[in-house]
Amino acid sequence: MSKRMLSKVSAAILILTVIFYQAAAAPQDTVDAPASPEGRASDIDESDIEERALNFLNVNNWNEQAIDSRYNGADATALAYALNRIYTGTAASYKKMVKLQLYLFQKFDDAGDVNDKYYFNVAYYFLNIRKNKYYNSLTNEQKRKLNEYKSYLPPSLDFIFFQPNFCLMNRKYLQHMYAADRAIDGQRDYIFVFTNNNNNVNKRPWTTQVTDVSNDRQTKLKFTLKHNQSKRVAYLERNSYNGQSNMVAAWHSSFQQPNNADWTVELYQNQLIFKQNGRLICASDSMYNNNRRYVFGQGGHGNGNNAPECQWYAKECP
């Protein structure tokens, strides 16, 4: 078992241990995420990534030696983007792209580097590799490696990219977000975090629709968060209802998407941070009633790395 796999197992055990402890003790306590490894390249901003990409986009003949001569962990995101652009729609370009993406991931893993943006983007690249019409032309060894490397990714990425549905558990409260049957009005329903994880089980699962809005220097994605049962989408309601503004709500229509329904998603360790115009999806300390916690689009949390109430684990539904 690789060091990265051992780390993932340890992280899962830590989360489960805290959940069991909180169930017996104080359910409102926060849980620390697994310790951030040294050398984490998570704080590289968007402009920095685009600047780094310029170092690689003019390389005309990518191969293993070209990767070796340019590699460092901080540049993994830009490197992977350049390799992704090798694919031009032909079987030959697809096979070359896959070969080099797998080589880069192996190099990244062997080095013990940590880069949340790279993890996030390469999960999307792995998804597209598997969905591609030329996938069956890969060798069995390449398919095996692809599945193995996918298993090395933080578990939340597996759920939002590869699984048909998932639950979202808040890091601070260790409680799940769900779309309620309680209507705000005729067009929108409440979204709550329910304080009892044994209730409302069938209302918890979510799915995502991913839209690629990349530019010519980096991969950019938008996510629509859709409630699996009702097919209603989670969006940011900027108007005030019942004295509450900036609620995250569920839109009634399953065929008409409301404004403010597109979210960017960032990875921090194994937590997902949903963002829209400077606001993050956060579980509030404000309660609708004794059992239901509001979910707001909150500002003022920066990138969200220090706000556990705005961080979510994507996981298998209980």
Query: Which of 133, 153, 173 is where one domain is finished?
Result: 153
Q: Are both 105 and 41 inside the same structural domain? A: yes
Half-sphere exposure of 172 (CA within 13 A, CB side): 17
Q: Are 192 and 249 in contact (CB under 8 A)?
A: no
Residue with more model confidence, 35 or 94: 94
Task: Quote the strand ranges of 185-253, DSSP E.
Answer: 188-194, 206-212, 221-227, 234-237, 247-251
* Alpha-carbon gap, residue 237 to 74, rounded angstroms: 37
* Alpha-carbon gap, residue 24 to 21, rounded angstroms: 5
Q: Are 88 and 126 in contact (CB under 8 A)?
A: no
Residue 14 has pLDDT above 80, yes or no: no
Q: Are both 232 and 292 inside the same structural domain? A: yes
Residue with more model confidence, 247 or 19: 247
Strands 188-194 and 177-183: antiparallel
Range of the domain at 91: 33-153
Q: What is the pLDDT of residue 101?
A: 98
Q: What is the pLDDT of residue 41?
A: 53
Query: Which of 93, 122, 153 is where one domain is finished?
Result: 153
Q: Are both 291 and 181 inside the same structural domain? A: yes
Query: Which of 153, 175, 205 is where one domain is finished?
Result: 153
- Considering the chain, what is the average pLDDT of its residues? 86
Q: What percent of the chain has pLDDT over 90?
A: 66
Q: Are 282 and 295 in contact (CB under 8 A)?
A: yes
Q: Is residue 240 part of a domain?
A: yes
Mean of the pLDDT values across residues 273-284?
Answer: 96
pLDDT in tens, 47-75: 676 777 777 888 889 999 999 999 999 99
Global pTM reads 0.85
Q: Are both 210 and 307 inside the same structural domain? A: yes
Q: What is the pLDDT of residue 170?
A: 97
* Alpha-carbon gap, residue 55 to 71, rounded angstroms: 11
Q: Are both 307 and 205 inside the same structural domain? A: yes
Q: What is the pLDDT of residue 33?
A: 39
Tokens linked to 314: 């994507």
Q: Are both 186 and 64 inside the same structural domain? A: no
| DSSP state letter for 171 | T
Mean of the pLDDT values across residues 208-234?
Answer: 92
Question: Dihedral of CA 64/70/73/76: which sign?
Answer: negative
Q: Are both 166 and 146 inside the same structural domain? A: no
Q: Are both 177 and 287 inside the same structural domain? A: yes
**Beta carbons within 8 Å of 236's beta carbon, 6+ residues apart:** 246, 247, 248, 260, 261, 276, 277, 279, 297
Q: Are both 310 and 178 inside the same structural domain? A: yes
* Alpha-carbon gap, residue 167 to 315, rounded angstroms: 5
Q: At 22, is the pLDDT very low, low, confident or very high (cuts 50, 70, 90)?
A: very low
Range 241-278 burial, b when 16+ CB lie within 10 A, else e: eeebebbbbbbbeeeeebebbbbebbbbbbbbbbbbee
Among all chains, which residue has been given the structure tokens 């402009």?
A: 47
The number of beta carbons lying within 10 Å of the beta carbon of residue 215 is 10
Half-sphere exposure of 302 (CA within 13 A, CB side): 6
Q: Is residue 186 part of a domain?
A: yes
Q: Is residue 190 part of a domain?
A: yes
Q: Are both 76 and 181 inside the same structural domain? A: no
pLDDT in tens, 128-161: 999 999 999 999 999 999 999 999 999 999 999 9
Question: Dihedral of CA 236/237/240/244: which sign?
Answer: negative
Q: For the chain, what's the residue count?
A: 318
Q: Are both 94 and 226 inside the same structural domain? A: no
What 3-state DSSP class applies to 195?
coil
Q: Is residue 28 part of a domain?
A: no
Q: Are both 149 and 166 inside the same structural domain? A: no
Spacing of C-alpha 174 from chain mean position:
17
Q: What is the pLDDT of residue 257?
A: 77
Which phi and psi angles does 222 have, rounded to 5°? -120, 145
The number of beta carbons lying within 10 Å of the beta carbon of residue 26 is 9
Q: Are 312 and 171 in contact (CB under 8 A)?
A: yes
Looking at residue 19, its amino acid is I
The number of distinct structural domains making up the chain is 2
Which domain CATH number covers 209? 2.80.10.50
Q: At 242, is the pLDDT very low, low, confident or very high (cuts 50, 70, 90)?
A: confident
DSSP H/E element including 126? helix 116-131
Q: What is the pLDDT of residue 203?
A: 81
Mean of the pLDDT values across residues 212-240?
Answer: 92
Q: Is residue 25 part of a domain?
A: no
Q: Is residue 72 part of a domain?
A: yes
Q: Is residue 87 part of a domain?
A: yes
Q: Is residue 282 part of a domain?
A: yes
Q: At 29, is the pLDDT very low, low, confident or very high (cuts 50, 70, 90)?
A: very low
